[in-house]
Structure 1
Amino acid sequence: MNFDKLQEEWNNSNDSKIAVPPDVKKMQEAHTPIDEVRKNMRRECYIQFFCLVLMGFAPVIFNFPSQLTTVFICTYGMAVAFTLYYFYKFFKFYKHSYDLSFDSRKNLLWFYYELKLNIELYKALTYILFFIGFAFGVLAYTILKNNGITVKDADFLMLFEKKVYVIIAIIIIMALSFAGAEYWPQYYYGKHLKKIKSVLDQLDEQE
């Protein structure tokens, strides 16, 4: 089933009563959410890459003490490693989606399950980055306390001079991490995933 060929035959035909098969119409409906997913993937890749690079300058931006910079480099390296693995899987899925013609149920089904898998990887990465960030916070506090460094010696700690600010910051970070892991991928990709699933269900009903 080839949409371009079908369109060409339709244009060359003088019979206005030629009916487009229902399954062809359903396949065409799936193309729009697939294109939207690809567009969102490109946009998100650029944003995440920019944020990852910007995060690498944190020691300079926030004037980290020398004792803390080494710890940051280690934890940042772990975060980059996990993120690059996700980027690799993400890019592999994105690239392979252009190698397929979504004019068959088999290819559409492949895209559906691969997208579901990538959404789960997205969630896992978000939680992993949260725990890496939390571990860095604990290590930073321990190192600074053991070395007698006060909040006045590190610009980025000025906001955490009071314990209440620390608690508020932890709650906000946890809430943002949960939202980023559970709600953002559903908002960004989930609605398109549902449209593709709807097309697959309708194709199953026609068989």
Structure 2
Amino acid sequence: MNIDELKNAWNEDNFFDGTPEISLEQKNKINLPLEKIRKNMRMELWSTIAIFVFAFTVIAVCGADFKFKFYLSILIASMVFVTFFFFSQFFKLYKNMSDPGMKTLAGLKDLLHQFHLNKQYYLSFYLSFVPFLVCELIIVLEFIPRPVPLSDVQVASILIGTLVITMPLLFVIGKWWFRMFYGKYIVQIENLVRELEQ
């Protein structure tokens, strides 16, 4: 096959017809929900950093004994480590949303897949704090002085009651938070993908 035949075969090949570029109007429709998601991700990152700075500041200035402050500091430092892992996953999504090369329907579908994957990360992020909350509760129960010490039954009841209430509550809050700050914008993008597929 000579060069001219190869060029003709290349020009006749319609392999890329399945991934058309997105029009300027459709890009504008996509950019609005994507920008809202990026804005909410930035807000969430900075508010999380502020919460950890506030927590470490409170521990530093409180007048508790060394063991109490040390245990809480280690616990919050562990929470920072877990948070860093999840936010590193969110940052990958943030970078992909900013990619100017997302011009095809296939690229948009891939982004939607990443959104759904990150929804699972998000719920896991909230549920990963249950052990930390239990540990904080144990530290508070053990180190806060009381006029009458708690009995073993009272300690067990408080811990079990906290778990029974906290786990479903964190799950519900995580789902609600995701829907409010990200889910409704993801639905807009899904609707646009459906329009593009028709």
What is the TM-score normalised by the length of structure 2? 0.71
Q: Is the 8 A contact 1:27 1:104 kept in 2?
A: no
5+ residue gaps, structure 1: 1-20, 153-161
1:36 and 2:36 aligned: yes
Please give the alpha-carbon distance, in whole angstroms, between the structure 1 residues aligned to 2:169 and 2:63: 25
Q: Which amino acid aligns with 1:86?
A: F
The C-alpha deviation readout for 1:112-138, integer Å capped at 9, x for no partner, is 122222222121111112321222212
Residue 151 of structure 1: which of 121, 146, 164 is its match? 146
The aligned residue for residue 202 of structure 1 is 195
Give 1:1-207 correspondences, 5 Å limit.
24=23, 25-141=25-141, 143-144=142-143, 150-151=145-146, 170=162, 177-205=170-198
Quick check: 1:122–1:185 contact (8 Å CA) kept in 2? yes
Aligned residues: 168
Q: Which amino acid in structure 2 is aligned with residue 138 of structure 1?
A: I
Q: 1:173 to 1:62 in 2, by over 3 A?
A: farther
Counterpart CA distance in 1 for 2:28 and 2:73 is: 48
1:99 alignment partner, SS class: coil
Letter in structure 2 aligned against 1:196: I
Question: Are the aligned partners of 2:96 and 2:111 in contact in 1 as well (CA < 8 Å)?
Answer: no
Contact 1:33 1:196 in 2 (8 A): yes
TM-align CA RMSD: 3.0
Q: Take 1:151 and 1:100, find their aligned partners in 2: how far apart are those partners? A: 60
Shift of 1:194: 0.4
Name the residue aligned to 1:15.
none
Distance in 1, Cα, partners of 2:61 & 2:72: 13
* Alpha-carbon separation, structure 2, partners of 1:84 and 1:183: 22
The CA deviation string for residues 105-164 of structure 1, in whole angstroms up to 9 with x for no partner, is 1221122122222222121111112321222212442x43xxxx6237xxxxxxxxx99x
- CA 1:34–1:54 in structure 2 vs 1: closer, same or farther (change >3 Å)? same
Cα distance in 2, alignment partners of residues 67 and 85 from structure 1: 27
CA gap 1:63/1:182 in 2 versus in 1, 3 angstroms:
farther
Displacement after TM superposition at 1:172 (Å): 7.6
Gaps of 5+ in 2: 1-19, 148-153
Identity across the alignment (%): 20
